[in-house]
Amino acid sequence: MNTLHVELGDRSYPIYIDAGLLSDSSLFAKHIRSKRVCIVSNDLVAPLYLEALKNQLSDFDVDEVVLADGEAQKNLANFELIMSHLLAGAHGRDTTLIALGGGVIGDITGFAAACYQRGIDFIQVPTTLLSQVDSSVGGKTAVNHPLGKNMIGAFYQPKAVMIDIDSLKTLPEREFNAGIAEVIKYGILGDGEFFTWLEDNTDAIKAGDPETLTQMIETCCQCKADIVAADEKEGSVRALLNLGHTFGHAIEAELGYGKWLHGEAVATGMVLAAKLAVTMNLLQASDLRRIEALIAAFSLPLESPSEMSFDAFMSHMSRDKKNIAGKLRFIVPTAIGQSEIRDDITEEMLQQIL
């Protein structure tokens, strides 16, 4: 078993990566401090893994909340549903929530944990590639609002992240590829050698080779753990993890959450950020072509939705969380393996690429 650590003082926690972790009862027990446990999952993941997880928690008093699947479910109504379940079940401050699912489940469960009785423990058990390499690590928790993605939330760290790579065997190809967008992001923003490794190992990744997937996930988690340890609440360097997300979140909010998967929107967002960097003479066109080629290799979109206007992009991006003093801020790559935050982007520059 590979074990990484997110170093945040008294909020530090381990990330476990291995096959078969959902069958390791001792691993769960050491991160649960009382007998009360509530598992939050969705109606696609629960039939696959809920009973297996409950079997490992036979010494605990366990109940569950099962939501419908999809990004559209990450909303205040389902947040309230979780709150009502916990209150009706007389759950106390010593209850542990377990998020069993992808990024939507992890985000809404973490936000519920942050808010219930002003904070209870939670454990991330991510079952999608996107959540394993990105959203389960770092303590960003939130729900969406029709006017903006992840606008209602909190920074709240889990007690542990347990990544069972066997869960990827049941992941649909489209969802797997969407997760790869976040993997590619790490290569573009800060690790050029990893980007090259992804180019060289594309076939093994697509074939689901366990050793290759484990190495890939571990590299992403280590990168994110290092960044979060340096900047937990996104005051500086952590903002680089939003490469492609300003454009991507605008696409998701405009089309309606779920029409494009988050990773698909981020993939297009990274291409747009790279094109922006080329127009600013910050990035070589040859690097843009490499970025496009790797994204295309996993059947991810390179172009923004044809039905989305420039004004729609600007409307959503004006509400982006990274903006300061009314200025739009974008993460742009300056080379494969390097990126920076810029607040000198004009509407004219954006019109060129949109």
Is position 316 annotated as part of the catalytic site?
no
3-state secondary structure 29-69: HCCCCCCEEEEEEECCCHHHHHHHHHHHCCCCEEEEEEECC
What does the angle CA 180 – CA 103 – CA 88 come to, to the nearest 5 degrees? 165
Is position 140 annotated as part of the catalytic site?
yes
Annotated catalytic residue within 42, 150, 177, 242: 242
Is position 85 annotated as part of the catalytic site?
no
Is position 262 annotated as part of the catalytic site?
yes
Is position 319 annotated as part of the catalytic site?
no
Annotated catalytic residue within 31, 36, 140, 342: 140
Annotated catalytic residue within 91, 159, 185, 238: 238
Is position 249 annotated as part of the catalytic site?
yes
The alpha carbon dihedral of 264, 265, 267, 272 has a sign of positive
Annotated catalytic residue within 175, 182, 232, 254: 182
Annotated catalytic residue within 118, 303, 307, 348: 118
Distance between CA 288 and CA 275 in Å, rounded?
Answer: 7
Annotated catalytic residue within 91, 159, 185, 262: 262
Annotated catalytic residue within 91, 185, 245, 275: 245
Annotated catalytic residue within 234, 252, 254, 264: 234
- If you ran DSSP here, which 8-state letter would residue 120 be given? -
Is position 5 annotated as part of the catalytic site?
no
Annotated catalytic residue within 36, 74, 159, 224: 224
Is position 224 annotated as part of the catalytic site?
yes
Helices and strands (DSSP H and E) totals, the chain: 14, 11
Cα-Cα-Cα-Cα torsion 73, 74, 78, 79, nearest 10 degrees, comes to 180
Question: Measured in whole angstroms, how far is the alpha carbon of residue 110 from the centre of its chain?
Answer: 12
Distance between CA 16 and CA 37 in Å, rounded?
Answer: 20
Any idea which residues carry the catalytic annotation? Answer: 118, 140, 182, 224, 234, 238, 242, 245, 249, 262
